[in-house]
Amino acid sequence: MDIRNLGFYQKKFLKILTKEGKLARFLPNVYQEELNKLIDEKRRHQEPVRLRVLKCRQIGISTWGSSLNYHFTTTYKNKNALIIAHDQESSSGLFEMSKKYWEHTPEMYRPMRRRSNAKELIFDNPETDSKTRGLGSMIKIETANNLSAGRSKTIQCLHQSEKAFWRDAATVQTGLYQSIPYKPDTVILDESTANGVTGKGEQFYNDWHDSNFTNVFFKWTHNPEYEIPVTSDFKPDHYEKELMKLHPELTLPKLNFRRYKLKNEMGSALLDPETQFSQEYPLTEQEAFISSGRPVFNMAQVLRDIESIKTLKHEVGEI
């Protein structure tokens, strides 16, 4: 039994609240399993983990990040984990997951806990005068609104959530990265949905294209929950047929899910339904970035035009 294997630890010891509000075992989904494999590979080669995830909505990446923090600080001694999100509510929500993991960890594997409050969870002997040592590890939260977040302590595991929505990501990130050494058994997880290529989302966009992190893009079509059964008279329209050619995993139930979202839940004063769907549920990295933010043009049409240009035949020659 290898409790330092993240996937094993999740399935054996951790419990989460499902979308239905029920307490259940942490059974990694397809996206979380892929990240588990990446983590295992890095650790096997004694490499620092530097992971950036561009995601669609509601696929469990933040939950996975919280399980990573908890696993890291409860299976290693003297490790500091920091969770930082774009606002207090989001940071606190991620932190509450860690507390729930501890509450439901089997007693024989549950570490001693010295302190648990709104900002930090310390795994150590609660009796400070005892000779018995605890793990000496801790999980702490901050918000990106604190521009000096993370500067006061060395960090071994950093979880940056929804960085594309931070007020001043460049300043906060600069301080954070100086606090985490580039050594084995250190982790930076930078996960976010896209938020355009300028404004708040610019730093995440630049990092996605310019840094040496391992980049992982997760599109919505791999999520088995994003399907609605179809009737026998369901037929794809012309545009849907084109999408199916480009993305063979787009089944009829997935197209039906897309139709339902477009008709019932998408569209606003700022975005047409197609563009908003592409923002929330992108099929490509390019679509994620150029559909998000506040685009001037109809981005669904722009994306179609880009794909059509790719198929044009052309010749290269001298002028």
Q: What are phi and psi of 106, to 5 degrees?
A: -50, 140
Q: Give the residue from 192, 193, 73, 197 showing the smallest Cα distance to 138.
A: 73
pLDDT of 259 reads 97
- For 222-231, what is each residue's pLDDT tens digit? 999 999 999 9
- 282 Cβ contact list (under 8 Å, min separation 6): 56, 194, 219, 220, 288, 291
pLDDT of 298 reads 52
- Max CA pair span of the chain: 83
Q: Which two three-digit tokens encode residue 255? A: 């197209």
Cβ distance 197 to 203 under 8 Å?
A: no
- Tell the CATH topology of 6-218: Rossmann fold (3.40.50)
Task: Tell me the C-alpha distance between 305 and 217, whole Å.
Answer: 22
* Domain assignments of the chain as residue spans, ordered by start: 6-218, 223-310
DSSP sequence for 205-265: HHHHHHSSSEEEE--GGG-TTS-----TT----HHHHHHHHH-TT--HHHHHHHHHHHHHT
Q: Give the residue from 38, 54, 57 showing the smallest Cα distance to 284.
A: 54
Cβ distance 300 to 278 under 8 Å?
A: yes
Predicted structure pTM score: 0.86
Chain CA centroid to CA 150, Å: 20
Chain CA centroid to CA 79, Å: 22
> Helical H runs in 105-179?
169-177
Tokens 């996960």, residue located = 191
The SS3 of residue 293 is coil
Distances (CA, A) of 109 to 100, 112, 207: 14, 9, 38
pLDDT of 138 reads 93
pLDDT of 302 reads 56
Per-residue pLDDT of the chain (319 residues; tens, 9 = 90+): 578 899 999 999 999 988 888 999 999 999 999 999 999 999 899 999 999 999 998 899 999 999 999 999 999 999 999 999 988 888 889 889 999 999 999 988 899 998 888 888 999 988 877 777 789 999 999 999 888 887 778 999 999 999 999 999 999 999 899 999 999 999 999 999 999 888 999 999 999 998 889 999 999 999 999 999 999 999 999 999 999 999 999 999 999 999 999 999 998 877 789 888 988 899 999 899 887 555 555 555 555 555 555 556 656 556 5
- 285 Cβ contact list (under 8 Å, min separation 6): 54, 208, 217
pLDDT of 134 reads 86
pLDDT of 168 reads 94
Q: Read off the DSSP letter of residue 50.
A: E
pLDDT of 292 reads 59
Cβ distance 190 to 51 under 8 Å?
A: yes
Q: Which two three-digit tokens encode residue 118? A: 């709104």
Environment class of 163 (CB within 10 Å of its CB; exposed 0-12, middle 13-18, buried 19+) = buried
Q: How much of the chain is in helix, strand and coil states, percent to nearest 5?
A: 40, 15, 45
